[in-house]
């Protein structure tokens, strides 16, 4: 009987251990490893983005819209083509085109190291388990280790199966401009085949002179090319 009680206790303890969530370090380590695996498997993709920007405040309200085609080739080549644009030229040139230029810069190895979601740049704290888009996720608080306009302070959702970041809800670690009093970003990703790619981004910035700017980016029409695409039926 004593042995049976000990066995039941050990079984219960092992079950609790197996069901316990991984630590922050384990989640981030597996996330970085899976990011490398997916990056190595991705050869290229194409997609379109719809940028919509609005500004309300002094001296007047403005709005603009642009549709942009993106051609990406691994490891870091991005070619943007503006398909159409309308509305305020000021917003197109100063906001939308600047956002495109910033993303081109973000593809460089130096920038990726500086902005990586890693232990070198952030402190992580496990908050709990959530459901995002019908998939179980780990919710973590991320705190930047330095004031840097390329880092952020907020929360991330990491997919519990694929260990991919599916949502970021945060503010910049450092205001990108003197004229911005505060800013907020809500970014979401979606699974396309075996890859996780951007789905939407909502950004709000409050201007010191009393205005508010909002930029929404919707991503879609993805065509993904893996490194070794599967052969179709009948193909040798």
The whole domain housing 52 covers: 22-221
Token pair belonging to 226: 């893996």
Instruction: Compute the distance between CA of residue 153 and CA of residue 145 in angstroms, rounded to an integer.
Output: 10
- Residue 228 inside a domain? The answer is no
Kindly report, residue by residue over 158-215, the tens digit of the pLDDT: 999 999 999 999 999 987 665 576 889 999 999 999 999 999 999 998 877 778 989 9
- pLDDT tens digit string along 42-84? 999 999 999 999 999 888 899 999 999 999 999 889 999 999 9
Task: Please give the model's pTM, rounded to 2 decimal places.
Answer: 0.84
Burial of 2 (0-12, 13-18, 19+ CB in 10 A): exposed
Report the domain count for the chain.
1
The pLDDT value recorded for residue 178 is 55
The reported pLDDT for the residue numbered 161 is: 95
Closest CA to 151 of 114, 199, 202, 108: 114
Residue 69 placed within a domain: yes
Task: Tell me: pLDDT of 231 over 50.
Answer: no
**Residue 10 is assigned to a structural domain of this protein:** no
Q: How far apart are CA 228 and CA 144, in angstroms?
A: 37
**pLDDT confidence of 15, banded at 50, 70, 90?**
very low
Tell how many helices (H) and how many strands (E) occur in the chain. 5, 10
Instruction: Report yes or no on 127 lying in a domain.
Output: yes
The per-residue pLDDT for range 83-132, each reduced to its tens digit, is 999 999 999 999 999 999 888 877 778 888 888 999 999 999 999 999 98
């Amino acid at each position: 009987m004593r042995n049976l009680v000990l066995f039941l206790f050990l079984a219960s303890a092992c079950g609790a251990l197996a069901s316990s969530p991984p630590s922050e370090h384990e989640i981030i380590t597996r996330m970085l490893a899976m990011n490398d695996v997916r990056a190595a498997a991705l050869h290229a993709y194409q997609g379109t983005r719809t940028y919509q920007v609005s500004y309300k405040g002094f001296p007047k309200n403005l709005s603009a819209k642009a549709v942009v085609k993106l051609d990406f080739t691994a490891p870091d080549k991005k070619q943007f083509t503006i398909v159409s644009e309308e509305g305020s030229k000021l917003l197109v040139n100063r906001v939308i085109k600047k956002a495109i230029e910033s993303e081109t810069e973000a593809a460089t190895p130096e920038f990726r190291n500086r902005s990586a979601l890693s232990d070198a740049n952030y402190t992580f704290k496990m908050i709990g388990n959530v459901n995002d888009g019908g998939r179980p996720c780990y919710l973590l608080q991320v705190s930047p280790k330095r004031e840097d306009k390329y880092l952020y302070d907020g929360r991330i959702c990491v997919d519990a199966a694929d260990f991919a970041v599916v949502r970021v809800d945060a503010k910049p670690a450092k205001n990108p401009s003197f004229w911005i009093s505060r800013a907020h970003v809500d970014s979401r990703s979606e699974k396309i085949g075996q890859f996780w790619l951007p789905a939407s981004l909502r950004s709000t910035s409050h201007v010191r002179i009393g205005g508010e700017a909002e930029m929404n980016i919707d991503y879609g029409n993805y065509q993904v090319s893996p490194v070794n695409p599967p052969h179709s039926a009948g193909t040798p």
